[in-house]
A and B are shown apart, each in its own frame.
Chain A
Amino acid sequence: MVPILEMKNIVKQFPGVLANDNVNLTVEKGSIHALMGENGAGKSTLMNILYGLYSPSSGEILFNGKEIKITSPRNAIEQGIGMVHQHFMLIPALSVIENVVLGKPGNKTVLELKNDAEAFVALGARYNMKIDPYALVSDLSVGQQQRVEILKAIYRGAELLVLDEPTAVLTPQEVTELFKIMNQLKEEGKTIIFISHKLNEVFAICDTITVLRLGRSQPSVTAASTNSEELAEMMVGRKCFLDVDKGEYNPGETVLKMEHVFTKGTHEALNDINLEIKKGEILGLAGVDGNGQDALIDAISGLTKVSSGKIFIKGNDMTGSSPRDILEQKVSHIPADRHKRGMVSTMSVKENMILISYYKKPFSKGLFLNGKFIEENATEIVEKFKVKTPSIEEMAGKLSGGNQQKLVLGRELSREPDFIIAAHPVRGLDIGATEYVHECLVAERDRGGAVLLVSTELDEVLTLADRIAVMYEGKIMGILDKEDYDITRIGMMMAGQNQ
């Protein structure tokens, strides 16, 4: 049988990056094909080429045996290629059915939403998916939104469906549901490309596996003929398991204490949070994205008001204090979104280095800034934290992602904090930078700092944390000590179940 899709010798060159370097991918009709690889391995680039979002620098694509040019997403849809992006391409302010028909070829000038809604509900029923077609997308849960995305693609006649890391935002239970749907689609003869970097999931659902590493494709293997170790080696290229040298776990006095903290809000509001973090420990906060982690960080750092409960830092009641008063307690915050919060990308490296402390001596004298000290300070941090920049006058936005994170890290850690909030500190960083950031955090802990590490990557939390708290829908489901680590149990807690 002719494969449904063949991508041959695909090359994609971006300014400064060779994202795909002679990639080959062959997908059989009616199969579930895994596309694996680390962050930055070139998976997304390849799929964006397939979906017509990028045009390849060279290479050819065969669909059902015929060479095709995919000029745009619309073109891809017309050829029968559908895609569910990791960040959903749904418009929150519109209803489900409006999202489904948006841009659909063959729409009448005056929309016939009623007809479409009926057909859509019928399609959903076939896959056991019940969704109100007139609900606003913003009112749906993440899992429901994903189902809308899948149905939308099928509704438009997708034969080949690309699912880009669909499980990243789901609880284990929702993942099971998704797999059921995927299997049913396969039985009906649809083909699925499943992008993931999670080994167990790939073995659970896929027939064939292609691994990308550093922009190059490895020869495909069948799931039956391989094992986890082999795949991991193909992905990473060397046997490397995250391991960090840590000093003895020797917690001191309590630094952060939260008592029955609630916040207002609809989705991720905090719901009776009780938490303690001590000197010399890293507390890992695990959980699926969007379960109140951001609200917790904002409550601690004073960026949102607590509706009830108390927050103590080093024994001082800081409930309702301003962000600055909290920072003054030697709290450092490495924010999740460094572009939005952590730095001012249109200011120089030098000016970014004083973002938190500019008003204090010796950064300023009276009403004026102390230019000489500010320069010395920036030079020192840049050297100590190995920030690669042509000059301290360079605009921070022009640095690479890893160097921007080092800039933020350097600024925050050079304040010798007693308490560090690190939110997804290695998101989007390469392996070298990741290791460096991890070393720094552990060094802070060994120095006697208290660290709150928020991450959705379980591996990261398991490696670094002394204790793990799991959040689900604004609640802390439980806190585990190192000796009680148990992945299944953590997984259950992430899904909202305890014991």
Chain B
Amino acid sequence: MKQKKGLIIGLIVVLVLLGIGLFAPDNLKNTIASFIAQDLRIALPLALAAAGLVYCERSGILNLGAEGMMLTGALFTWIGTALFNGNPWLGILVGMFSSLLIALLFAFLVITLRSNQTVIGVAINILALGLTSTIYRVVQSMDMTILGFPNISDILAKIPGLGNILTNMSDIGPELALVNIPRIGSYLNIIFAQNIMVYIGIIIIIFLNFVLFRTDLGLKVRAVGEYPKACDTMGINVYKIRYGSVLFSGLLTGLAGGLLVLDIKTFVENVTAGKGFIAVAAVIFGKYTPIGALGASLVFGGAQAVQYLIQAIGLKAPSDLMNMIPYVITIIALAGFIGKTHVPAASTKPYVKE
């Protein structure tokens, strides 16, 4: 039932997008296409963090330290990339490792020491803000060259033999061969010529959805957040599953933070600016599923991309007011969708093995 509903929504979205591509006037068409492209670009880090947090929340741990983990991942991706001569792949591994360490601290405090998850989550954020800003000011003067992840069209163009078929060369670099389709070619190119991580991210999220609902491990994660005591009597190690879930959410929030930095190609203090919390909200809004979290992130990403849309249309609105929109939308989504989704029954309750 639920899957069908998702498919139908997906189909409608695709049809509407195609319809716009076919029938809208050119300038509007391109504006919409770049809005969608912006939305995907902004939403993907958020969605990856949220997908990781889905596992965490499903196992019964409310990870409000996500913001701090993301921020740590962001700084160390920046440092790591610089250390590896601008290599984003190695850089982001450094970032993910750093947020993993923060997640380990969080897991130890809330799982082993059974401390209050909310307060510790907040403390983790303060800690990360303090650490990253302090370290940043020390390493600020380092020579930083950051290369972002390549665009899919650049990668396709380099495939021997197929490169010429899959892409066209233009003045500003390779374009996807989609561009050759009459009427909607350039429209589609704007949407699909994305950073490679957008594609990898979507694949990761679909995979995570599969793991959560179709595998033994996913079943254990879902069960542990509902009724840990029952899991214990069934021979499942509750602590292990919870540690694993928290650490995994640490890895993915770190990845998200790293993507943020690689996207803007620099680090600034508090660069995440609440995105970790928005990811937590996306988990709820997305009904605790990775794909739902992706959908929610697209909504939040859209709220931010609206700024570009408004600029493009030529409307004048104070940027400070525009900057509020993602936060306002998050609050509205949170208020509108809580209570309409099933929260894991053991959420925020520490488990004490007798």
Contacts and interface: CB of A to CB of B under 8 A. Distances in A.
A and B touch in the complex (CB under 8 A): yes
Interface of A: 51, 53-54, 72-75, 77, 83, 85, 88-94, 98, 101-105, 107-111
Interface in B194-240: 214-217, 219-220, 222-223, 226-227, 229-236
Contact of A94 (B217, B222, B235, B354): B222
Contacts of B216: 101, 107-111
Nearest to B230: A89
Interface residues of B, number: 22
24 contacts: A51-B233, A53-B232, A53-B233, A53-B354, A73-B232, A74-B235, A77-B234, A89-B230, A90-B230, A91-B226, A91-B227, A93-B226, A94-B219, A98-B223, A102-B219, A102-B234, A103-B234, A104-B234, A105-B235, A107-B216, A108-B216, A109-B215, A109-B216, A109-B217
Contact of A101 (B219, B227, B231, B235): B219
Interface string B120-137: 000000000000000000
A49 B234 CA distance: 15
Given A53-B232, A94-B222, 20 more contacts: A53-B233, A54-B354, A73-B234, A74-B234, A89-B227, A91-B226, A91-B227, A92-B226, A93-B344, A94-B219, A102-B234, A102-B236, A103-B220, A104-B234, A107-B216, A108-B216, A109-B216, A110-B216, A111-B214, A111-B219
B342 interface: yes
Contacts of B234: 73-74, 77, 89, 102-104
A91 B223 contact: yes
Which of B226, B227, B231: most chain A Cβ within 10 A? B227
Nearest to A77: B235
B345 interface: yes
A109 B220 CA distance: 11
Contacts of A98: 219, 223
Given A109-B215, A111-B214, A93 B235 contact: no
Nearest to B229: A89
Contacts of A104: 234
Contacts of B223: 91, 94, 98, 102-103
A88 B341 CA distance: 24
Contacts of A72: 235
Contact of A89 (B217, B220, B222, B233): B233
Contact of A103 (B229, B235, B342): B235
Contacts of A91: 223, 226-227, 230-231
Interface in B243-277: none
Nearest to A85: B233
A108 B229 CA distance: 23
A208 to B, nearest CB: 26
B233 A111 contact: no
B121 to A, nearest CB: 22
The 5 closest A-B pairs by CB, nearest first: A74-B235, A103-B234, A89-B230, A107-B216, A103-B236
Which of A92, A93, A104, A105: most chain B Cβ within 10 A? A93
A107 B234 CA distance: 13
A111 B235 contact: no
Interface string B150-193: 00000000000000000000000000000000000000000000
A107 B222 CA distance: 16
B233 A83 contact: yes
Contacts of A83: 233
A38 to B, nearest CB: 22
Interface string B268-308: 00000000000000000000000000000000000000000
A93 B213 CA distance: 13
Nearest to B342: A93
Contacts of A107: 216
Contacts of A73: 232-235
Nearest to B231: A103
B231 A102 contact: yes
A105 to B, nearest CB: 8
A35 to B, nearest CB: 18
A75 B215 contact: no
A72 B223 CA distance: 18
A54 B227 CA distance: 19
A278 B222 CA distance: 50
A72 B353 CA distance: 12
A424 B266 CA distance: 64
A54 B353 CA distance: 10
B225 to A, nearest CB: 9
Contacts of A77: 234-235
Contacts of A110: 214-216
Nearest to B353: A53
Contacts of A51: 233
B290 to A, nearest CB: 16
A110 B218 CA distance: 9
B126 to A, nearest CB: 26
A77 B222 CA distance: 22
Which of B219, B342, B345: most chain A Cβ within 10 A? B219
Contacts of B215: 109-111
Contacts of A85: 233
A75 B226 contact: no
Nearest to B344: A93
B67 to A, nearest CB: 28
A85 B232 CA distance: 13
A101 B219 CA distance: 9
A75 B232 CA distance: 12
Nearest to B232: A73
A103 to B, nearest CB: 3
B20 to A, nearest CB: 39
B287 to A, nearest CB: 13
A75 B235 contact: yes
Interface string B332-354: 00000000001011000000001
B174 to A, nearest CB: 38
A79 to B, nearest CB: 12
Contacts of B217: 109
B226 A94 contact: yes
A58 to B, nearest CB: 19
A211 to B, nearest CB: 25
A84 B73 CA distance: 46
